[in-house]
Amino acid sequence: DGGITQSPKYLFRKEGQNVTLSCEQNLNHDAMYWYRQDPGQGLRLIYYSQIVNDFQKGDIAEGYSVSREKKESFPLTVTSAQKNPTAFYLCASSISRGDGEQFFGPGTRLTVL
Partner 1 sequence: DAKTTQPTSMDCAEGRAANLPCNHSTISGNEYVYWYRQIHSQGPQYIIHGLKNNETNEMASLIITEDRKSSTLILPHATLRDTAVYYCIVRGDNAGNMLTFGGGTRLMVKP
Interface residues toward partner 1, by CB under 8 A: 4, 33, 35, 40-45, 48, 58, 88, 90, 92, 96-98, 100-107, 109
Nearer Cβ to partner 1, position 48 or 78? Answer: 48
Nearer Cβ to partner 1, position 80 or 103? Answer: 103
Within 8 A by CB and 6+ apart from 40, the residues are none
Contact 36, 43 (CB under 8 A): yes
DSSP 92: E
Closest-CA residue to 110 (of 80, 83, 78): 78
Nearer Cβ to partner 1, position 60 or 80? Answer: 60
CB of 18 to partner 1, least distance (A): 24
